[in-house]
């Protein structure tokens, strides 16, 4: 009888200890997870067809807004439509790291040519490529259709629909965006407008290109002193000085 009683108590204590061990272990896992340094905040790209603008968002707040051009053929994911697909996608490839502004790409490879903005009669892909892959049924063909966010030499058309399906940007803007995001960044192309905070940021005047020129010191604007007139000439003109 005593042996059975002791065995029962041992079983109960062992069970409680195991349960506490699991709790402690779980607490340790949580503690370790909470003490691990977190990575930089996830960023997301929002593209508004209505506004013809791209906003880089961080935790729901805009950190940069750029003018863009979506397709002049409208919105579609149908092959051969040259339309821009809508919906959620992500950046599958980043191409062109280190290439100069205006570097021409064909089949995602540099050709060696470099074009200035608005080069007459030229409309290749330049500077950087962010290749997109669809995440929804309505944009599932985006990767196969070679839908990119990319630079264009036709910078005069930025701000209105002018592309053949891709999202075009000015070369300095696409470099800035390229450097701010990693592969896998979420992209959402929508018919609607950007959030109000992003539209407000887009209306801010650009920062000056360089330091403001200061006015020259006052002494630099003074006329040089007149030549000294000999005392004899002064006396002849005005008479001798009064004692």
Q: In terms of Cα–Cα distance, which of 167, 171, 172, 160 is closest to 45?
A: 167
Q: Comparing 225 with 189, which gets the higher pLDDT?
A: 189
Q: Is the pLDDT of residue 205 over 80?
A: no
Q: In terms of Cα–Cα distance, which of 64, 201, 86 is closest to 138?
A: 86
The reply to whether 35 falls in a domain is: no
pLDDT digits (tens, 9 = 90+) for 229-242: 555 554 555 455 54
The reply to whether 64 falls in a domain is: no
pLDDT digits (tens, 9 = 90+) for 145-189: 999 999 999 999 999 999 999 999 999 999 999 999 999 999 999
Domain count, the chain: 1
Where does residue 168 rank: exposed (0-12), middle (13-18), buried (19+ CB within 10 A)?
buried
CATH of the domain at 147: 2.40.440
Q: Is the pLDDT of residue 29 over 60?
A: no
The reply to whether 43 falls in a domain is: no
Q: Is the pLDDT of residue 21 over 80?
A: no
Mean pLDDT of 206-227: 47
Can you tell me the distance from the alpha carbon of 162 to that of 50, in angstroms, rounded to the nearest whole number? 13
The reply to whether 85 falls in a domain is: yes
pLDDT at position 111: 98
Can you tell me the distance from the alpha carbon of 9 to that of 25, in angstroms, rounded to the nearest whole number? 24
The reply to whether 225 falls in a domain is: no
pLDDT at position 106: 97
Q: Hey, is 18 helix, strand or coil? A: helix
Where does residue 92 rank: exposed (0-12), middle (13-18), buried (19+ CB within 10 A)?
middle
pLDDT digits (tens, 9 = 90+) for 108-129: 999 999 999 999 999 999 999 9
CB within 8 Å of 100: residues ≥ 6 apart: 114, 127
pLDDT at position 229: 52
């Amino acid at each position: 009888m005593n042996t059975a009683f002791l065995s029962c108590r041992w079983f109960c204590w062992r069970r409680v200890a195991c349960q506490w061990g699991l709790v402690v272990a779980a607490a340790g896992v949580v503690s370790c997870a909470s003490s691990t340094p977190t990575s930089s905040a996830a960023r997301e790209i929002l593209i508004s067809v209505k506004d013809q603008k791209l906003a880089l968002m961080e935790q729901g707040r805009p950190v940069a807004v750029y003018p863009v051009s979506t397709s002049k053929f409208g919105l579609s994911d149908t092959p051969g439509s040259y339309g821009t697909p809508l919906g959620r996608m992500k950046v599958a490839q980043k191409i062109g790291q280190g290439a100069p502004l205006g570097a021409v790409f064909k089949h995602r490879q540099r050709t060696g040519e470099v074009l200035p903005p608005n080069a007459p009669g030229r409309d290749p892909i330049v500077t950087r490529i962010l290749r997109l892959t669809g995440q929804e049924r309505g944009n599932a063909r985006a990767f196969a259709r070679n839908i990119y966010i990319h630079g264009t030499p036709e910078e005069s058309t930025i701000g209105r629909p002018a592309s053949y399906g891709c999202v075009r940007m000015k070369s300095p803007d696409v470099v800035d965006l390229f450097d701010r995001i990693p592969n896998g960044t979420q992209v959402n192309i929508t018919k609607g407008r950007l959030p109000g905070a992003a539209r407000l940021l887009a209306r801010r005047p650009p920062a000056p290109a360089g330091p403001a020129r200061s006015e020259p010191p006052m002494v630099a604007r003074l006329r040089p002193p007149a030549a000294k007139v000999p005392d004899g000439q002064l006396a002849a003109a005005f008479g001798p000085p009064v004692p």
